Amino acid sequence: MPTPTDLQARRERTVLDHFADETRQDFDAVLQTFPHPHYEIVATGEVFDGQAAVRQYYAETRAAFPDQRHEIIQLRHAEDAVVVEFWLLGTHRGALKGLPATGNTFRCRMVAFFIFEGDTLVCERPYFDSLSLLKQLLVGVPPAALPAIVGGLLA
């Protein structure tokens, strides 16, 4: 395997720091990994642009999954990106977009594109199978409750 270039090594360090800071929930440090925070969550179609929107995203997701963490599977370099395949794990302890906490754990395989302009991280764009995640969160939920929950998620 070829040795990463200096630019790739700097980008990789930024991404690894970003992941580590997210797991520690040191969101001030995460936000320092890019000058204008920008997330595009492909599975939901949501875009979080700027400090306030990204902080709100962190607050909502960590309220729902306070133990959210990552296990990196593979990291690859592209011309303008670092592509990371990873497991996202956590426990559903708080409401998320109308879905009440179930207490269920999840393990969801994901890929995220960390888009760069030179050395500067400009966007994180994660992709995942939202149905796989939802199925794990709903294990054990009584079937009679599902229409109300799913209806709330689709509203």
pTM here is 0.89
* Residue 48 located in a structural domain: yes
Q: pLDDT tens digits, residue range 95-149?
A: 988 888 999 999 999 999 999 999 999 999 999 998 899 899 988 877 776 666 6
* Residue 55 located in a structural domain: yes
Q: Which residue range forms the structural domain that includes residue 66? A: 6-154
CA distances from 138 to 68, 79, 141 (A): 17, 39, 5
Which CATH number fits the domain that encloses residue 62? 3.10.450.50
CA distances from 19 to 27, 81, 95 (A): 11, 15, 24
* Residue 119 located in a structural domain: yes
Q: Give the distance from CA 63 to its chain's centroid.
A: 14
CA 125-127-130 angle, 5° bins: 135
Measured CA to CA, the distance from residue 152 to residue 62 in angstroms comes to: 20
Q: pLDDT tens digits, residue range 4-51?
A: 689 999 999 999 999 999 999 999 999 999 999 999 999 999 999 999
List, in order, residues 6 or more apart from 28 with CB less than 8 Å away: none
* Residue 1 located in a structural domain: no
Q: How many residues does the chain have?
A: 155
Q: Is the pLDDT score of 76 beyond 70?
A: yes
Domain count, the chain: 1
* Residue 108 located in a structural domain: yes
pLDDT of residue 153: 57
